[in-house]
Amino acid sequence: MKSWRELNSYKKMQVFLAEKSGFCFGVKRAVRLAIQASKMAKQVYTIGPLIHNPQYVEYLQKQGIFPIQSVNDVESGVVVLRSHGVSPDTYIQAKKKGLEVVDATCPNVKRVQALARELKGEGYQVVIVGERRHPEVRSIANDLQDDVLIIGEVDDLRGDGLSKRIGVIAQTTQDLGCFRDICHQLLGLVREMKVYNTICKASYERQVSTIKLAQKTDLLLIVGGRNSANTSRLFRIASKINPNTYHIESKKDIDTSWLSGKERVGISSGASTPSFIIEDIVEYLRGIEPY
Ligand code: SF4
């Protein structure tokens, strides 16, 4: 119980917040850099939403920071490269167009990109455990001219296309259990395997905190954008432990019938969930009469 912060004890319902949740270091850094840029320049753009949270993207737009699809969409201004990273092509293209580039790629992602290059340089086939379409995975794959194998889950593994010497890395927000299972399976399929556990500390801590909450509460709310990979992953991990787990973006998504008879309500969130949304939910729960 020490590792949790008790937020509320309202009649029979208690609300607990995951010890580690909300904005991670990489997201805080990206937001800080983007806001700094918006104070210096009139036109500030991010390639894709700066973070996968619609409410926060709306807030950023009010600060003059607008998401675009690609550098082709603008002719001037500042382009902020978000924490997920981009392919070197995007960077070069932005520079060629004369755009000012603020690189907010998380240092953890840069490390994974560098390790992938290193593994390829050593002659390993690079295997990325992660989501094929996630921008971070795309940035690594593009950097290696798509000469990589991407595995999302154990069921994707049939041994097709695998070399005898592989170098394995993980998307920084990967589920440790899934990464471990895939590495275990891969071991039986190759002759040589070099593994870097590139799951970042922030993701790992959020997974552990969420698992603890799922075990100790009778209702768990996972808060974050539906387009947030790390929030969706926390939801999947928690649902396996606690079937009364719901993924919500804000208090508007809470169905009060979920609270019926519940005494211990947990709140966890992904690395891209702003604290004002969590505070809003806590306030809302405080005002609810349990029944
Ligand atoms: S989740 Fe990890 S890798 Fe991704 S931005 Fe946050 S700290 Fe960086």
CA distances from 137 to 116, 202, 234 (A): 11, 18, 19
Whose C-alpha lies nearest to ligand 1, atom 6? 26
Question: Does residue 83 line the site of ligand 1, with CB under 6 A?
Answer: yes
68 closest CA partner among 99, 98, 96, 39: 99
Chain segment 263-282, per-residue pLDDT in tens? 999 999 999 999 999 999 99
CA distances from 275 to 195, 204, 251, 272 (A): 35, 19, 13, 10
pLDDT at position 289, please?
62
Phi, psi of 27, deg, nearest 5 = -70, -40
Confidence of residue 10 (pLDDT cuts 50, 70, 90): very low
| 14: pLDDT strictly greater than 80 | yes
Q: Please state, rounded to an integer, the average pLDDT across all residues of the chain.
A: 91
Residue written as tokens 């405080």?
286
Please check whether residue 47 is in contact with residue 90, taking contact to mean a CB–CB distance below 8 angstroms.
Answer: yes
| 9: pLDDT strictly greater than 60 | no
| 180: pLDDT strictly greater than 90 | yes
pLDDT (average), residues 160-181: 94
| 5: pLDDT strictly greater than 60 | no
Residue 108 CA: nearest ligand 1 atom is 3
Confidence of residue 4 (pLDDT cuts 50, 70, 90): very low
| 114: pLDDT strictly greater than 70 | yes
pLDDT at position 3, please?
35
Exposed, middle or buried: residue 199 (CB in 10 Å: 0-12, 13-18, 19+)? buried
Q: Which residue has the higher pLDDT, 204 or 289?
A: 204
pLDDT at position 157, please?
83
Element (H, E) at 167: strand 165-170
Catalytic option among 6, 75, 100, 136: 136
Known catalytic residue at 136? yes
| 111: pLDDT strictly greater than 90 | yes
Ligand 1 centroid to residue 29 C-alpha, Å: 10
141 closest CA partner among 116, 177, 174: 116
pLDDT (average), residues 180-204: 96
174 closest CA partner among 159, 195, 188, 190: 195
pLDDT at position 1, please?
31
| 140: pLDDT strictly greater than 80 | yes
Confidence of residue 87 (pLDDT cuts 50, 70, 90): confident
**What pTM did the predictor assign?**
0.88
